[in-house]
Amino acid sequence: MSGVQITDKVYWIGKVDDREVPFHRLILKKGTTYNSYLLKTEKPTIVDTVDIIYGREYLENVSKIVNPADIQFIVINHVEPDHAGALPALAAKAPNAKIVCTEEAVSLLKDMFKLHQREFITVKDGDTLDIGGKTLRFLKTPFLHTEETMMTYEPEDGILFSCDVFSTHIASHEVFNDLAKINYIEKFNGYYTTIMAPHRPYIRKMLEKIKDLKVNVIGPSHGYILRDNAQKFISMYDEMSNIGEMGKEKKVVIIYSTMTGNTTKIADRIAKGMEDLGITPQVFNMKNADKDEVKNSIHECDGLLAGSSTKYADTVGEVEAFLKSLEGETFKGKFAAAFGSYGWSGEAVIHVEEQLEQLGFDIINQRYLIKVLGIDTPLFPLRIRFLREEELDRAEDSGRVFAEQVLTH
Ligand SMILES: Cc1cc2nc3c(=O)[nH]c(=O)nc-3n(C[C@H](O)[C@H](O)[C@H](O)COP(=O)(O)O)c2cc1C
Ligand SMILES: [Fe+2]
Ligand SMILES: [Fe+2]
């Protein structure tokens, strides 16, 4: 298959990969597709490429419908090599093409594919590009599912090139959803659950951004092109990502010890972040809290945050003794994370995290954040130097991320 026409000048030029595809520590038994698109306008433009291993085959296919030397723009919505992988091969044969992507993507692409000599066009949210007979509008959609990601909208035909969003991992030889021979809805939903759900707040922002666009066709990066009832798929994302009043049903407890009140302020900021998602945590300063009440609250809660500042490389106050008193009880299925203010080394936070781990909580820490969310900002264990304002914002982010995990599990 060398190209499938979508509209007058827009072609699918992707690759159907019907192997068992290894992907993010999963095996995609039903394979997948890497959807690449060609807009054969006066200034021929390609939106995304295919997986790195299909570079040569891809180029042969592209050459059947357009002379690569004529290509003016290569839009890269997302740098992961299942879509940007054939960029170096394509760029080499398309010397006149400028690479169009977000600022965050430029350095990643240059470093990954050694493209330091190429000309890039860096786009901001809402920027447009005239490609001779059609316009492209770029919508930044960070963390869907990595930071540099964007979508590309073509208003003349109403096509939204949505990148990994609205994708399905399926080797869809029929290309379009109305031609599907099987019921793919379950797989479409499954893709949302595994890849997109952890980024739910960004899905909400994206939906807000596209809500007034006329979308006739969704051209995602994997699986069917959704030309039959595109709006239905947008509504499905809206439904799946809507947590409504769910926050009110979830319980989070924050306990801490402090010497001079810095850790109190961190606890307050974490709580503030949670309130954005409708969760109002119960906050206990262990100095004057009723230990039995705290114990009961923890048994009823969905998530626990425990904090201590550091004094001579150790915890302060009563948090450590209190956590010790919980030994032997079971906390499986509850999330927990550690936090605290410190000066130069901050060992207390590590001691507290270890205690939480030994008690059997599901720990949210840097390992979890990288593994589950692909986030490399050190949100947990949350260590804030003294009470530096510029670091304190991180406490609110941490609160939001913790609340998000509690809400979506
Ligand atoms: C007596 C004393 C000992 C301290 N020892 C350490 C230490 O070993 N490592 C460290 O990172 N910070 C240390 N600090 C710094 C505190 O952790 C820091 O001031 C923190 O912001 C206090 O937070 P709090 O007000 O919540 O107690 C020490 C502070 C004091 C007063
Ligand atoms: Fe991706
Ligand atoms: Fe992908």
Predicted confidence pLDDT, tens digits, the chain (409 residues)? 569 999 999 999 999 999 998 888 888 888 999 999 999 999 999 999 999 999 999 999 999 999 999 999 999 999 999 999 999 999 999 999 999 999 999 999 999 999 999 999 999 999 999 999 999 999 999 999 999 999 999 999 999 999 999 999 999 999 999 999 999 999 999 999 999 998 999 999 999 999 999 999 999 999 999 999 999 999 999 999 998 888 889 999 999 999 999 999 999 999 999 998 899 999 999 999 999 999 999 999 999 999 999 999 999 999 999 999 999 999 999 999 999 999 999 999 999 999 999 999 999 999 999 998 888 899 999 999 999 998 999 999 999 999 999 998 8
Ligand 1 atom 28: residue of nearest CA: 311
> Collapsing DSSP states into helix, strand and coil, what is residue 127?
coil
**Is 258's C-beta closer than 6 angstroms to any atom of ligand 1?**
yes
Ligand 1 atom 21: residue of nearest CA: 386
**Is 315's C-beta closer than 6 angstroms to any atom of ligand 1?**
no
Q: Left (φ > 0), alpha (ψ -120 to 50) or beta: where does 406 sit?
A: alpha
Residue whose token pair is 């029929």: 174
Give the number of the atom of ligand 1 that is nearest the alpha carbon of residue 313.
Answer: 8
The secondary element (H helix, E strand) that includes residue 190 is helix 185-191
Quote the pTM value: 0.86
d(CA 105, CA 193): 25
Q: What is the pLDDT of residues 68-121, one digit of tens each?
A: 999 999 999 999 999 999 999 999 999 999 999 999 999 999 999 999 999 999
| Cα-to-centroid distance, 307 and ligand 1 (Å) | 13
Other beta carbons within 10 Å of 357: 14
**Is 287's C-beta closer than 6 angstroms to any atom of ligand 1?**
no
Query: Measuring CA to CA, how many Å separate 326 from each of 128, 292, 300, 307, 358?
Result: 58, 11, 14, 16, 10
Task: Pull the structure tokens for residue 401.
Answer: 């991320």
- Out of 257, 310, 344, 385, give the residue to mutate to test ligand 1, the one with the largest number of ligand atoms within 8 Å of its CB: 310
The secondary element (H helix, E strand) that includes residue 38 is strand 37-39
Query: Measuring CA to CA, how many Å separate 7 from each of 122, 208, 233, 397?
Result: 27, 26, 20, 43
Residue whose token pair is 């590009």: 129
Domains of the chain: 4-241 (3.60.15.10), 246-407 (3.40.50.360)
The secondary element (H helix, E strand) that includes residue 60 is helix 55-65
**Is 388's C-beta closer than 6 angstroms to any atom of ligand 1?**
no
**Is 54's C-beta closer than 6 angstroms to any atom of ligand 1?**
no
d(CA 163, CA 35): 9
Read off the DSSP letter of residue 311: B
Q: What is the pLDDT of residues 215-234, one digit of tens each?
A: 999 999 999 999 999 999 99
